[in-house]
Amino acid sequence: MSPMAGVRRIGIDLTLLEDVVLSARPATAGGHEGLDHIPGQALLGACAARLYPELDPEEAWLVFHSGRVRFGNGLPVADDGAVGWPMPLALHGPKAETVVREGRLDASRVRSFAHPAAGRTLPGGAQPRQLREGYLTLDGRVLEPARTLRMKTAVDPATGSAREAHLFGYEALAAGQRFHAVVEADEDVPEGLFERVCGALAGELLLGRSRSAEYGLVEARPAEARVPPPAGVPAGRSLLLWLLSDLALLDAQGQPTLEPLPERLGLGPGRVDWSRTFVRARAYAPWNGHRRAYGLEREVLCQGGVVCLELDAPPSAEVLARLERGCGLWREAGLGRVWAAPPLLEGERPAFAEAAAGRPAPRPAPAADGAAAGRDEPLVAWLRAWRGRAAGDAAVERLARTLAARLEGCYRRARRDAGAGPHEPVGPSPSQWGAFLSVAKAAPAGEPGERLFGGDDERRAREEEGVPCPAHADGWSDRFFDGSAMVTFREWLRRELREGWRELGGERTRCYRLAAEVARRGREVARRMHRGEVHERDA
């Protein structure tokens, strides 16, 4: 982004000293899902907790409610401090291939469907898959924040023991990670007031849920603000926007809308080119800790979205400068950040910057007295191994959750394709998933694919003992249309697990654990589906 005249910025480096729970939605029932970044709303709340009582009403309104002071989202950073930006949803790669190699996105295997020459196809007719996970640095590195999941139970105050039927879990950002946020203020905000804001965001902060227990401690340090590099004014009337945070808009009647028309962004008349636009949406209500209540529900376009606009007149430098200050609602809480005409998405393939020369190497761990140079202390080695395990566990959890969400759709399509009624069993039964889970949990010797799925021919499948997912078993052999061809549940599961195993690097223990987590969730899905708990439109 180009520098904005009169706007002051400061960067905040955030180091997680404890796991941090940041909920993606306010629901208390069902599985808890956490965010993979630190929302600006959390930083605004931490600053308000310290500063609000000291300000008069006019100053408090200016800082926390007017949108002229903006608390940006905390985004993950690499070891050298490079910021990862939300993965652009316009990027697509072959579904059956891995496009991330050694932590970098392989630009030769990825295509931006926002480019007019790309269309919606990949070379060789490969089925495209949208890239949604992770964050992308401008030189092509993919950052995936590590998350943990812990199960807990509420305590009955009358007995001091576990409360009946009050088991819950928290998905949290794992401790030890670093994030970077930017706080900025318009020129009409007094300099002294902005300095007080910056001072309130220094030192130890408590962010997220369960701050009074074992979560939420973060160390904040002021730093140089790291923002995207400048981009020139586009020559034509076509303008591409990359959403760096969630975007909340209103229509002409003041109602929430998910249609990013140019006039709603302050860009004048025009239209949205939906053939080159890739967005997702969500709704959530933020928790207000002071009021002890949820705020208004926000309907937003998710960060990472790519919007292509066709304007009636080319945008001017002044219009784009206003856009850099954000657009839409709740800009003070980090929403509305967009990058106009990002160079990374100019071509049919992502254009990554050259790796910066002279990057600072990560600081070596201090060696123990008498230890050989380059060797870690036992505690440091253990911490590094623990961090690697935490990152792997988070990847397993993420993949399992994704596959379970797809599996429910598979059952519905199989029921529809077979013409079965709501209470007729279709697909693998809960007991079949249970058998699959038992073998996966045992993690027997040998390749997971062979031990879980056996062979493809009927004679071999019947001869093998202990294979929980044979080729011709009832349930596993039920078929459905997966968007490109008719497949069985077994074929679909084996294909999806193999893809997940490749992403996990083929590490045997994690491969079996992924299979077990998918089976555990699959058993619950099968129970609901076999009881006929389907939506009327799917039955």
Q: What is the pLDDT of residue 532?
A: 57
Residue 375 pLDDT grade (very low, low, confident, very high; cuts 50, 70, 90)? very low
% of the chain with per-residue pLDDT over 90: 39
Question: Quick one: which of 216, 230, 85, 213 has its CA closest to 143?
Answer: 85
Q: What is this structure's pTM?
A: 0.65
Arithmetic mean of pLDDT, 259-287: 92
In CATH, the number for domain 8-82+145-223 is 3.30.70
DSSP letters spanning 263-292:
GGGTS-SEEE-GGG-B--EEEE--EETTTT
- pLDDT(85) > 50: yes
* Eight-class DSSP state of 98: -
Domain ranges of the chain: 8-82+145-223, 381-530
Q: What is the pLDDT of residue 526?
A: 87
Task: Report the mean per-residue pLDDT for the chain.
Answer: 83
pLDDT in tens, 21-77: 888 776 555 556 789 999 999 999 999 999 988 999 999 999 999 999 999 999 999
Quote the CA–CA distance of 13 and 221 in Å, as a whole number. Answer: 5
Q: What is the pLDDT of residue 392?
A: 57
- pLDDT(366) > 90: no
% of the chain with per-residue pLDDT over 70: 84
Q: What is the pLDDT of residue 358?
A: 42
The residues, ordered by sequence, that sit 6+ positions from 308 with a Cβ below 8 Å of its Cβ are 114, 238, 239, 240, 241, 272, 273, 275, 276, 277
- Tell me how many helices (H) and strands (E) the chain has: 10, 28
Q: What is the pLDDT of residue 368?
A: 38
pLDDT in tens, 274-325: 999 999 999 988 877 777 788 888 999 999 999 999 999 988 888 888 888 8
| Ranges 115-119, 268-272, 339-343, 459-463: which has the least confidence | 459-463
pLDDT in tens, 457-469: 554 544 456 788 8
524 and 410 Cβ atoms separated by less than 8 Å: no
* Eight-class DSSP state of 509: H
Q: What is the pLDDT of residue 279?
A: 96
Q: What is the pLDDT of residue 3?
A: 44
